[in-house]
Amino acid sequence: MTSSGISRPLTHTPITQEKIFLLCFYFHFSQALFRRMKRLGLSTAYCKDEGTGTILRQFLSLPLLLQNNIPSQWNRLNSLCSTTGLSEFSQYVGKTWIYVHKPPRAPECWSVHQMSVRTNNDIEGWHNRLKTRGKSHRTFYDLIQVMHEESSLLDWNLAQIWSGALDRRQNKDYIAANEELGYYGIHWTVVK
């Protein structure tokens, strides 16, 4: 803390700039694929046709794979595309995201394989908590007090995480989903 009683930001951060970029590119990858689905008229099939929906979801899950497996899985998915719309979608994914070797669209820029944090939900949760604690009609000095308390809590949480005493909080459903993803990552086999 400084002499004014306000905590200084820590100089070390557990989330690197590279990880933040990965999260951003993963988000943009997903958004780009959803926009292309809509443009090609695949939105209805994604929701209502089980076979088409499964193939499209597999395209959307490519970032969860080890980056070395992504091209071979794209080839497998490409061979499953039996309609014109799916073929056009697959060609878009291959040309725009798979066989590109320059950032930001190269697979190493959006592969989030075995990353525990794949979204900005942690930041959104903090922001919502801060809004709730800050209320809408507080005075400026009340807001400073809330910010100071949050700053102290953040420093404490980061120190706990770095020491290994505290891990990030997760909902039990997300813990189960991450364990299942880990299982499939370890037991990866190419489906023919």
Question: Does the pLDDT at position 15 exceed 60?
Answer: no
Query: Cα(76)–Cα(189) distance, rounded to whole angstroms?
Result: 12
**Same structural domain for residues 64 and 46?**
yes
User: 183 falls in which pLDDT band (50, 70, 90)?
Assistant: low
Same domain assignment for residues 150 and 105: no
* Residue that finishes a domain, picked among 95, 115, 135: 115
pLDDT in tens, 75-130: 999 999 999 999 999 999 999 999 887 767 778 777 777 766 666 666 777 778 77
Residues 6+ apart with CB under 8 A from 1: 7, 8
**Do 71 and 137 fall into the same domain?**
no
- Asked if residue 107 belongs to a domain, the reply is yes
Mean pLDDT of the chain: 76
Query: Does one domain contain both 73 and 52?
Result: yes
My answer on whether 87 and 68 are in the same domain is yes
Residue 115: how many other CB atoms lie within 10 Å: 14
Is 177 contained in some domain? no
Number of domains in the chain: 2
**Each residue's pLDDT tens digit, 148-169:** 887 888 777 777 767 766 666 6
Residues 28 and 109 in one domain: yes
Question: What does the angle CA 29 – CA 31 – CA 32 come to, to the nearest 5 degrees?
Answer: 65
pTM value is 0.61
40 and 91 inside one domain = yes
With 0-12 / 13-18 / 19 or more C-beta atoms within 10 angstroms meaning exposed / middle / buried, residue 111 is buried
Q: State which of 79, 97, 115 marks the end of a domain.
A: 115
Question: Is residue 94 one of the residues assigned to a domain?
Answer: yes
Nearest CA to 62 among 20, 34, 87, 97?
97
Q: Do 110 and 23 share a domain, yes or no?
A: yes
Residue 174 lies in a domain: no
Domain membership of residue 160 (yes or no) is yes
Inter-residue contact 64 to 113 (CB < 8 Å): yes
Residue 10 included in any domain: no
* 189 is a domain residue: no
Q: Is residue 175 part of a domain?
A: no
CB atoms within 10 A of CB 120: 13
pLDDT tens digits along 36-70: 999 999 999 999 999 999 999 999 989 888 888 89
Residue 125 is part of which domain span? 121-167
